[in-house]
């Protein structure tokens, strides 16, 4: 696979971060690596916390010409001037989010391991569909396997994202059959997130 055909990085924020230090850390990563999109994915449901985090991250993302989407919160995406939303309930909310946010917004859908949900999300107007986890004992233990990504890349035009439990081996295996890798905790849980990201990037080509 040539570097021109290599998948792109879809960076996901940590579930919790310090507003005093994280924007600078994020800026350093966006300076060093080409990032296709950034997702604000916080564990909290507190609206004030989400809004302050979104303000800080949006400033960094847009300074680097990187689109910023937020998990689930269609209303906050609109109110805060973000670029779209990442939905976590499969195809169920895609049509409503698209109607609310308009044609130019990014609407993505996480469909776990469901080919059926993925196709429905695409038909409902999703800009991308993500499947996962690709390794590890997350959630129910079910994994999105290479067969799913291989089928999708051959049959469906909607871009596909691999996420959850990414390792260099999984990235290497999936690189020919996925468009994006959503990378988050895989790097933020390490001592050197940029080095960890660069190791995963190297496995994509």
Q: For residue 126, how many other CB atoms are within 10 A of its CB? A: 26
| pLDDT band with cut points at 50, 70 and 90 for residue 141 | confident
57-86 confidence digits (pLDDT tens): 999 999 999 999 999 999 999 999 999 999
Residue 140's Cβ-side half-sphere holds a number of Cα atoms within 13 Å equal to 6
Banded model confidence at residue 138, pLDDT cuts 50, 70, 90: low
- Written out in words, the top-level CATH class of the domain with range 8-202 is alpha beta
Structure tokens at 122: 């695409």
Phi, psi for residue 131 in degrees, rounded to 5 = -125, 150
Q: Per-domain residue ranges for the chain?
A: 8-202
């Amino acid at each position: 696979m040539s570097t021109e055909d290599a998948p792109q990085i879809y960076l996901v924020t940590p579930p919790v971060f310090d507003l005093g230090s994280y924007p600078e850390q994020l800026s350093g990563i966006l300076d060093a690596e080409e990032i296709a999109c950034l997702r604000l994915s916080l564990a909290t449901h507190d609206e004030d916390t989400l809004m302050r985090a979104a303000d800080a991250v949006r400033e960094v993302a847009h300074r680097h010409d990187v689109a910023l989407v937020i998990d689930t919160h269609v209303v906050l995406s609109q109110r805060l001037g973000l670029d779209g939303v990442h939905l976590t309930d499969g195809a169920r909310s895609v049509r409503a989010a698209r109607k609310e946010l308009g044609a130019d917004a990014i609407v993505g859908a996480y469909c776990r391991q469901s080919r059926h949900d993925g196709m429905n999300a695409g038909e409902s107007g999703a800009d991308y569909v993500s499947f996962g986890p690709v390794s590890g004992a997350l959630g129910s233990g079910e994994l999105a396997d290479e067969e799913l990504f291989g089928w999708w890349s051959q049959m469906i035009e909607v871009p596909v994202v691999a996420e959850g439990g990414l390792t260099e081996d999984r990235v290497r295996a999936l690189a020919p059959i996925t468009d994006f890798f959503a990378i988050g905790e895989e790097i933020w849980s390490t001592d050197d997130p940029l080095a960890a990201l660069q190791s995963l990037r190297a496995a994509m080509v």
